[in-house]
Structure 1
Amino acid sequence: MSVPILYTLRQCPYAIRARLSLALAELEFEQRDIDLRRKPAEMLDITQKGTVPLLVLENGDYIDESLEIMIWSLNKNDPHNLLLTHAPHFFAEMLSLIARNDHKYILALDHYKSDARHYNPEVTIYRKLCESFLSDLESRLSNHKYLMTDTLSLADYAILPFIRQFSHVERQWFRQADYPNIKQWLSSLYQEPIFSQAMKKYPLWDNSRSTVTN
């Protein structure tokens, strides 16, 4: 293959991460949007894990963890200095913040989504657990425009898809919630052309026709 291939699902927050990072790194890649109910054989031939995102490299190696795809992409090319190389101590802090998102917060978020979907009256329990993380982000954003500094970083793009998902669970509640800094942060990132590029809708990939190359 001449360019990496990304198997992806449009609304999956992990896959959004991968598409954002590849676009931010200005890397050419082939995008294959799939239906997880009908996983293509080509994808399963690479790994039986069967999850997205899955980035297949030119040499046949693959990366199937979204944060690893982000770091791989930005190590290839980081024109916006999202790894904050001018301040190396920030990198460890970014990874720590992302780890909190990826473990404790996402676990609560998954329960929150399920409870809201099934009209569980205890939905507020997991919403409040999510809010402990949101409160930290709100505080950070009161000190600077973005999560780490006044410039965008890996942390902003890694965490964005999951705060976006939280805001969609109970939209009316979130509109009234007292998170002005997070709402401004979301609005700012949504207006970035790179976000529209990453969220562009493509037809499902079919190996009988040519695919989209970014």
Structure 2
Amino acid sequence: MSEIELYSAVLCPFAYRARLTLAEKQVPFKLIEIDLQNKPTNFEEISPYGLVPLLKHGKFRIWESAIINEYLEESFPTPPLLPKDLVQRAQARIWINFADVRLFAATHKLLLTLEPLQQAEGVEELSKYLQFVEQEGLQKLSAEEPYWLGAEISLVDLTYYPWFEQVAVLEHFRGFQFPSGLNRLKKWYETVANRESVRAIAKPKEFYLKHYARLQSSASVIS
């Protein structure tokens, strides 16, 4: 098997989800950490967008985290991280898309703004998204099961988990408060956080607060 290389960055939640997928599938890989504030001079020759994650599998390169994860699912089908049923698989893709175009996009926007009114609007937006996840996602798809789609972990769980590990950044720097009453969501988080693949690479909130400390005086964000 050709060696897999994963280009990552220490705070990047998108690279994190690819690492979790590789870990869940027990696929050996070489991790290459990139300082996005001081990129290697040849990095754009490796990553066309100049971003992480980027996966190299032999002579092939794959970028965009959702696509990387689906590539890994198809290349290493055991254990499966997407359901076989086509409707359930479509549901998985819907929620992965929601994470990227709603939850993570709103988070990035909130971290970039220093204007108090825009911050308040961003906090409200995130709260609504989490309530939507609770009611339309977890409650309807797997109310009595441990994971997003039921009894087994999936790419949906691995997509969302990194956001929750870094939520202390939003609480500390942007005044975000986790909405009350999201009991299913909290239980889901505890379940995923206790998986061996997660515990092996998880970082404490102090780690993230230290690295994001410059957000207090700067609009730049480490991605």
TM-score after normalising by structure 2: 0.77
Q: Counterpart amino acid of 1:192?
A: R
Structure 1 counterpart of 2:138: 141
Asked if the contact 1:83–1:154 (Cα under 8 Å) also holds between the matched residues in 2, the reply is yes
Query: How big is each residue's C-alpha offset from its partner over 1:151-201, in whole Å with a ceiling of 9 and x where there is no partner?
Result: 22111111222243345411585367332222222122111110123447x
Q: Where does the alignment leave 5 or more consecutive residues of structure 1 unmatched?
A: 201-214
Once residues 146 and 47 of structure 1 are traced to their aligned partners in structure 2, the CA distance between those partners, rounded to angstroms, is 33
Q: Is it true that 1:183 corresponds to 2:182 in the alignment? A: no
> Residue 108 of structure 2 aligns with which residue?
110
Fraction of identical pairs, as percent? 24
* Alpha-carbon distance in structure 2 between the residues aligned to 1:111 and 1:83: 30
| CA distance in structure 1 between the aligned counterparts of 2:202 and 2:62, rounded to whole angstroms | 21
Stretch deviating more after TM superposition (159-168 or 147-156):
159-168
Question: How far apart are residue 48 of structure 1 and its match?
Answer: 4.2
Q: Deviations over 1:28-72 (max 9, x none)?
A: 21111121122224533323421000111202x211110111111
TM-score, normalisation: structure 1 = 0.80
List per-residue Cα deviations over 1:57-95 (Å, max 9, x = no partner): 202x2111101111111112233322112x232111111
| 1:123-142 alignment, distance < 5 Å | 123-139=119-135, 140-142=137-139
8 Å Cα contact 1:189/1:195 also seen in 2: yes
Using the alignment, how far apart are the partners of 2:181 and 2:55 within structure 1?
Answer: 38
Query: More relative contact order in 1 or in 2 (CA 8 Å, sep 6+)?
Result: 1
Q: CA deviation at 1:2?
A: 4.5
Q: Is the 8 A contact 1:20 1:194 kept in 2?
A: yes
> Which residue number in structure 1 is paired with residue 23 of structure 2?
23
Measured in 2, the distance between the counterparts of 1:43 and 1:5 equals 14
Structure 2 residue aligned with 1:194, among 192, 197, 209? 197
Show CA shifts across 1:68-124 (max 9, x none): 111111112233322112x23211111111112211332222222234xx3724423
Aligned match of 1:83: 82
- Quote the Cα distance in structure 2 between the aligned partners of 1:4 and 1:12: 19
SS of 1:37's equivalent? coil
> Deviation above 6 Å: which 4+ runs of structure 1?
none
Number of the residue aligned with 1:74 = 73
Counterpart contact for 2:20–2:158, Cα < 8 Å? yes
Q: Against the structure 1 CA distance between its residues 63 and 185, is the aligned structure 2 distance closer, same or farther, given a 3 Å change threshold?
A: same
Rounded to whole Å, the distance in 1 between the matches of 2:28 and 2:82 is 20
Letter in 2 for 1:71: E
Q: Which runs of 5+ in 2 are unaligned?
A: 204-223
User: What is the root-mean-square deviation of aligned Cα atoms in Å?
Assistant: 2.6
Alpha-carbon distance in 1 for matches of 2:163, 2:33: 20
Q: How many residues align?
A: 197
Is residue 94–residue 148 contact of structure 1 (8 Å, CA) maintained in 2?
yes
- 8 Å contact from structure 1 (residues 27, 73) kept in 2: no
